[in-house]
Structure 1
Amino acid sequence: MAKERVLITGAAGFLGSHLCDRFIAEGFYVIGMDNLITGSLKNIEHLFGRDDFEFYHHDVSKFVHVPGELKYILHFASPASPIDYLKIPIQTLKVGSLGTHNLLGLAKAKKARMLIASTSEVYGDPLVHPQTEDYYGNVNPIGPRGVYDEAKRFQEAMTMAYHTYHGLETRIVRIFNTYGPRMRLNDGRVLPAFIGQALRGEDLTVFGDGSQTRSFCYVDDLIEGIYRLLKSDYAYPVNVGNPDEITIGEFAEEIIKLTGTDQKVVYKPLPKDDPMQRQPDITRAREILGWEPKVSRAEGLKITYDYFRSLSKEELYTKEHNTFEGYARK
């Protein structure tokens, strides 16, 4: 009996590569697609040579054709870190708009169910805490983060339009800060930035006074939530993240303790539109999906730290984040 086929865009990225692993483990034939503008083949090289995986090097902002049947499409192609979307703002907007449109059209043609990766950034710098799916957000469309925030907001709107007008089976996951192996060490996000600085013996940089909060979800928990949402009958957005909130200042101290280093914490001005609070309300995920995170931050950080320690010196000392010093870290 032929395996059901799933298309995963952004397959060579952090989350996309973990999704490829999960769907192969679930018995699917996986088609990975990525233009490698931010993804890395290193994340999926262990899958090459398998008879249940193939890879398309393609930009989904251009017409997408995949021969044969598709059961599911998961759209995870998008720059997701400030380093990336500040460097390639037009591509970020195009993958959220043109790319989403192309894939929704493919899903319609194939009669496939499509799940899109949205983000907590649709809430902007929230005036409601914690953030529920019913909150419309506080987003600056022309600020430095607007290219990412508005691309994701448009992506949700386009997806719901296809669901209501064409009757397409769609799912929307709003992803909160996630971490784990295969993150890029120097992509500008706070967790890999802190660990990278600690491993290089540098002081840890905190933007603002460190009182802003984040909530970190381990990647295995996130992938489980995404898989359950895809299989569910719920078409509206669902927050998937860990509600265990911590200030950035406290988190820096956790990283110093974890790495056994004696660096100081240095403070720099807070970037424009940087969210002061980020914590998911996961009531909907608990009630509809029967999901909640299982991996504690201490456990997940140890696994992630061990992964980063295994990187080469070349990877460790490629300090891309210094190129955009002063911009927001998610």
Structure 2
Amino acid sequence: MYPEYNQLDPDNPKCSEDSAYPAAPDSEYGWEKLFSERLYLAYARNYGMNVRIARFHNIFGPQGTWTGGREKAPAAICRKVAMAEDGGEIEIWGDGKQTRSFLYIDECIEAVRRLMESDFQGPVNVGSEEMVSINQLVDYVCEIAGKTLHKRHDLTKPQGVRGRNSDNRLIREKLGWEPSMPLKEGLRRTYAWIAEQVRQAEAASVQ
């Protein structure tokens, strides 16, 4: 939902809440989010509806979608690593240099609780400021899995903007919240769950 022109530098994306306008999202998905926010704010202004608006940044964790094409990058990478033989390869969409930040689900729930119990309407970013490249994300998961995999980059696949990272200054100021779990710990928990799903699916396929 943030302007594409603010997300061209993978090392320094600008994603503060007030940077969403002038609007220029990189996809229809971003426009959908902006229109939804304006709809909620219109209801609040015209009808007194009590609303809270959170802008979520790549939430992940166990029990989430992990296959089928709708999963977030951490889940997709955990699945690919779990399915790969040690010494094999893993496909990465794009050059892997694009940067993102990812927030573990438990942290997200706490942020939402604080927002709902506050009198702050938002919009407010809910995410992590621990930014990594997709290549780094793959390295983290391989380390957790104890595997060495060759990266094969598919430049024909979509890779999104070059950089995106949550700017948490506003949520720290208004709600006193910031995530405390390192990305690697969230990935460790998520990989354990997804690896078990892969194991169960493979076992079922040979029955």
TM range (shorter): 0.7 to 0.9
Judge conservation of contact 1:179–1:216 (CA < 8 Å) in 2. yes
CA separation of 1:280/1:252 partners in 2, compared to 1, >3 Å: closer, same or farther?
same
What residue number does 2:15 align with?
Answer: 131
Give the secondary structure class of the aligned counterpart of 2:53.
Answer: strand
What residue number does 2:38 align with?
Answer: 157
Give the secondary structure class of the aligned counterpart of 2:74.
Answer: helix
Give the secondary structure class of the aligned counterpart of 1:278.
Answer: coil
What residue number does 2:78 align with?
Answer: 195
What residue number does 2:174 align with?
Answer: 288
Structure (1 or 2) with the greater helix fraction: 2
Q: What pairs with 1:240-319 in structure 2 (closer than 5 Å)?
A: 240-269=126-155, 271=157, 274-311=160-197, 313=199, 315=201
Q: What is the CA-CA distance between 1:208 and the residue it aligns to?
A: 2.0
Residue of 87, 99, 107 corresponding to 1:221: 107
Total equivalences in the alignment: 192
Judge conservation of contact 1:207–1:269 (CA < 8 Å) in 2. yes
CA separation of 1:302/1:214 partners in 2, compared to 1, >3 Å: closer, same or farther?
same
- TM-score, normalized by length of structure 1? 0.54
- TM-score, normalized by length of structure 2? 0.84
For the aligned residue pairs, the C-alpha RMSD in angstroms reads 2.2
Return the alpha-carbon distance in structure 2 between the equivalents of residues 126 and 234 of structure 1.
29
Q: What pairs with 1:1-330 in structure 2 (closer than 5 Å)?
A: 122-123=1-2, 125-127=4-6, 129-136=13-20, 137-140=23-26, 145-146=27-28, 148-186=29-67, 187-201=70-84, 203-269=89-155, 271=157, 274-311=160-197, 313=199, 315=201
Task: Give CA deviations for 1:89-114 in whole Å, capped at 9, x if unaligned.
Answer: xxxxxxxxxxxxxxxxxxxxxxxxxx
Judge conservation of contact 1:125–1:277 (CA < 8 Å) in 2. no
Judge conservation of contact 1:180–1:219 (CA < 8 Å) in 2. yes
The aligned amino acid for 2:4 is D
Query: Where does the alignment leave 5 or more consecutive residues of structure 2 unmatched?
Result: 8-12
Return the alpha-carbon distance in structure 2 between the equivalents of residues 271 and 150 of structure 1.
22
What residue number does 2:10 align with?
Answer: none
Return the alpha-carbon distance in structure 1 between the equivalents of residues 181 and 158 of structure 2.
32
Percent sequence identity is 28
Judge conservation of contact 1:125–1:274 (CA < 8 Å) in 2. no
Judge conservation of contact 1:126–1:275 (CA < 8 Å) in 2. no
Q: What is the CA-CA distance between 1:312 and the residue it aligns to?
A: 5.3
CA separation of 1:282/1:210 partners in 2, compared to 1, >3 Å: closer, same or farther?
same
Q: What is the CA-CA distance between 1:272 and the residue it aligns to?
A: 5.2
Query: Where does the alignment leave 5 or more consecutive residues of structure 1 unmatched?
Result: 1-121, 318-330
Task: Give CA deviations for 1:152-173 in whole Å, capped at 9, x if unaligned.
Answer: 2211010000111112111000
